[in-house]
A = this chain, B = another copy of it.
Amino acid sequence: MEAPISVVANATGNATAAAVLSGGATNVIIPAVSAVGLVFSLVLYRQVAAVRVAPQTPRGGAGSSSAYLLQSEAGLGDSVEASAAQIQQAITTGARAFLFTEYRYMAGFMVAFGALLFVLLGSADGFKGAHAHAHPADPDAPPPALANAVFTVIAFLLGATTSIVSGYLGMEIAVFANARTALEARRGVGHGFLVAFRSGAVMGFALTSLGLLVLWLAILGFSRYFGDDYRALFEAIAGYGLGGSSIALFGRVGGGIYTKAADVGADLAGKVCAGIPEDDPRNPATIADNVGDNVGDVAGMGSDLFGSLGEATCAALVIGAQSADLVGAGWDAMLVPLCVTAAGIFCSLVVSFVATDISPVRREADVERVLKVQLFLSTALMTAVMYPVLLVLPDNLYLGPEGSFEVMCPTPEAVAANSRCVSGAPLAAFACVAAGLWGGCVIGFVTEYYTSHSYRPVREVAASTETGAATNIIYGLALGYKSTIVPVGVLAAVVYVASRYMSMYGVALSALGMLGTLATCLSIDVYGPVCDNAGGIAEMSELPESVRDKTDALDAAGNTTAAIGKGFAIGSAALVSLALTSAFVTRTGVLQSGVDMLAPTVFAALLVGAMLPYWFSALTMKSVGLAAMEMVKEVKRQFDTIPGLLEGTPGHGPPDHAKCIKISTDASLREMVAPGLLVILTPIITGTLFGVEAVAGLLAGGLLSGVQLAISASNTGGAWDNAKKYVEKGSLVVGGAIQRKGSECHKAAVVGDTVGDPLKDTSGPALNILMKLMAIVSLVFCDFFLGINEGRGLFNMGSTGN
């Protein structure tokens, strides 16, 4: 096959002396930063927990709080705090109910898919583990397929478990913080902000640090078996990304269906049918709606971004392991992708003090600025920090796909002679990371421009409600389409720069760059739903109007930053997907001279791949519609059968929240099966039948069309949401009359908002998963595909027709 790796490594091992960090430095930096991140996250949690949800609650952790909440449910407290705590408890119970049901399915999935992985990968050489760890004896032999299967499955389970734990922690802290935010808002907007922001940061730092630490431990552990055979090592490690991304499928798709079934159901039932406000405590679907915010926007978003981080790292590792120069440079150079993430955690941590201590929120007007400054400063600091970290890379690198193990760039002459040799690799890598970092920033802010009612686009959509719901929809769709221009242009530029300077490795680095400020992004993302729920709790527990105004101000900023977060999530998903596709193409080996897009198999696969996002969106949109209709029926049934509920007569029976939560839970888990299977099975079937060339086309097609659809769906939905809010706050004037709640314009705006719900929170973000999961599945099953007619599939298709 190829030249023995250890020999190559020895031949170039000395070329890396120029690295600033001496050998093994990563073994200090990565665990240290992870540990600091985890401790920091614990400290923030204690600070959030210190807020008392009720007079009789002693300062302390969740345990004591729960103790109180039980009392409160028993009727021992009936102050505002008690009421807030009671609602919080209902949300917590609902969220846990959903999560634990979901975990049962996840566990089943992990076992089943782990078994499939083991069988398909292990079967490549007939489950022969005979020459296990053959390296010392025979340096030429690759590790047996059985080893690959075993370690891939372990990595898969590790990734999945870490994602679950991170998501669970995030969800717990979010539901733990929402009543606290509402209550603290009584003391001032700054106090409320601190609680919400810190709770977000708990999730942000816990998720990134845990993800990094577990991945590093896995690599360390696996290397005991694989030695310096980085290629085989990282092929197995790719399972980690697969695990994270599989959980994201549940989180994003299942969670997305859950949250919008509840939201659309509550909207339609509350507003359209019974005529009571969405957050009215009598509406039985409200708690499900509040649970949904956490399920979708906290756990779902978190698992999505955890998946991106894991996959981007795996893609970089796999591609890097194909480069003899990089392999020769040793452990520290190989682990550069993890160092990028570590640097990001460090920078986000430092910058978080700006929001909490250095320049905190004092007035309502400060909130949005403080959040945006977080993002901007993290990006800037990370840019400054990255270059020294990247000096660990060898100066000259050969990064081409063809025959990587034979061609190296040890000398300046070799670099000059071969266009695939990168000279000044640290600087080139820096350009890639920086492109990703700042590209993400631009995408985020453009997304905000198109979805915030501070700017012209959303105001135009709001004004179009003058002629009714139809023009509102037309204008909103047009806005979403238009909003793809700049983000896609930025992505194209990032891809060009990255792949130009460092080939496919550069694309993976730019994805890591875009995810570099992930801890900050997640803090901001989680902040949104916490404030949203705080507002709901303030209304339901009948806190004074002034408090509701403060939570509204906090929430408004959260909407803005949620838009930024969505932009980030899509942009990074696109880069990650491209990096994984590149890693797949690199690994196949048979596509060394490139993938000719006009070859019969490739173009047909590109077409089908570009169709998949539409199929997937159709499934998820329809699911939300069906589940919402189910919810409406249940709410109607409760209003019909529970005496006094609709009329709000004092002492009326309580609405049955649990039933509504169950409808959303069941619907989300039932309805995610079809889209889930579509994403996981399509690449496997394509690879099995039509070969690796078709898989490459499928992935690229899905990415090309998915990124457009995701951006336009998310932004259209966000714009309608904020157009409605713009009308509600009385800013739309038609013919001299202010259009408020209840006006014809408002009704038209509500139609747009409801249509936008599944677009922006279900099908749009779920496309991130489609793009990434298909690619990582293909990468992990690569060896299996190559085992069938040398990657030409059962139908023996491929490039001969080319």
Binding site for B on A (CB under 8 A): 264, 268, 272, 419, 464, 467-471, 473-475, 477-482, 484-485, 488-489, 491-493, 495-496, 499-500, 504, 578, 581-582, 585, 593-608, 610-611, 613-615, 617-619, 621-622, 624-625, 628-629, 632, 696-697, 700-701, 704-705, 707-708, 712, 750-751, 754-755, 758-759, 800-802
CB neighbours of A419 from chain B (8 A): 800-801
CB <8 Å contact, B495 and A607? yes
- List 15 A-B pairs, Cβ < 8 Å: A419-B800, A419-B801, A470-B755, A477-B621, A478-B617, A478-B622, A481-B615, A481-B617, A482-B615, A484-B611, A485-B611, A496-B603, A598-B700, A610-B704, A614-B708
With A467-B632, A488-B608, A755-B473 known to touch, is A482 a contact of B800 (CB < 8 Å)?
A: no
Q: Which of B482, B708, B801 is in CB contact (< 8 Å) with A705?
A: B708
CB <8 Å contact, A272 and B492? no
CB neighbours of A751 from chain B (8 A): 468-470, 473, 751
CB <8 Å contact, B481 and A618? yes
CA distance A615 to B483 in the complex (A): 8
Instruction: Report the nearest B residue to A419, measured CB to CB.
Output: B800
CB neighbours of A485 from chain B (8 A): 611, 614-615
CB <8 Å contact, A482 and B618? yes
Instruction: Report the nearest B residue to A758, measured CB to CB.
Output: B474
CB neighbours of A482 from chain B (8 A): 614-615, 618-619, 622
Q: Which of B467, B489, B496, B755 is in CB contact (< 8 Å) with A601?
A: B496
With A625-B474, A708-B705 known to touch, is A594 a contact of B604 (CB < 8 Å)?
A: no
Besides A492-B605, A492-B607, A496-B604, 12 other CB < 8 A contacts?
A468-B754, A469-B469, A474-B755, A484-B614, A484-B615, A485-B614, A491-B607, A499-B599, A593-B593, A594-B597, A603-B700, A610-B705
Instruction: Report the nearest B residue to A490, measured CB to CB.
Output: B607
CB <8 Å contact, B622 and A475? yes
CB <8 Å contact, B473 and A600? no
A-side binding surface: helix, strand, loop or mixed? helix
A673 to chain B, nearest CB (A): 17
CB neighbours of A477 from chain B (8 A): 621, 755, 759
Instruction: Report the nearest B residue to A495, measured CB to CB.
Output: B604
A15 to chain B, nearest CB (A): 24
A385 to chain B, nearest CB (A): 27
With A615-B481, A625-B464 known to touch, is A603 a contact of B473 (CB < 8 Å)?
A: no
CB neighbours of A618 from chain B (8 A): 478-482
Instruction: Report the nearest B residue to A475, measured CB to CB.
Output: B625
CA distance A476 to B701 in the complex (A): 24
A744 to chain B, nearest CB (A): 10
A499 to chain B, nearest CB (A): 4
Instruction: Report the nearest B residue to A491, measured CB to CB.
Output: B607
Closest 4 CB pairs of A and B: A594-B596, A470-B754, A482-B618, A481-B618
With A605-B492, A618-B479 known to touch, is A467 a contact of B596 (CB < 8 Å)?
A: no
Q: Which of B470, B492, B504, B615 is in CB contact (< 8 Å) with A608?
A: B492
CB <8 Å contact, B598 and A582? yes
CB neighbours of A475 from chain B (8 A): 621-622, 625
CB <8 Å contact, A603 and B578? yes
With A474-B624, A482-B615 known to touch, is A700 a contact of B491 (CB < 8 Å)?
A: no
A544 to chain B, nearest CB (A): 33
CB neighbours of A598 from chain B (8 A): 499, 504, 581-582, 585, 594-595, 700
CA distance A31 to B504 in the complex (A): 55
A288 to chain B, nearest CB (A): 17
CB neighbours of A755 from chain B (8 A): 470, 473-474, 477
A759 to chain B, nearest CB (A): 8
CA distance A798 to B485 in the complex (A): 23
CB neighbours of A700 from chain B (8 A): 597-598, 603, 606
CB <8 Å contact, A597 and B602? yes
CB neighbours of A600 from chain B (8 A): 495-496, 499-500
CB <8 Å contact, A599 and B606? no
A260 to chain B, nearest CB (A): 10
Q: Which of B499, B601, B696, B704 is in CB contact (< 8 Å) with A801?
A: B499
A702 to chain B, nearest CB (A): 10
CB neighbours of A625 from chain B (8 A): 464, 471, 474-475, 478
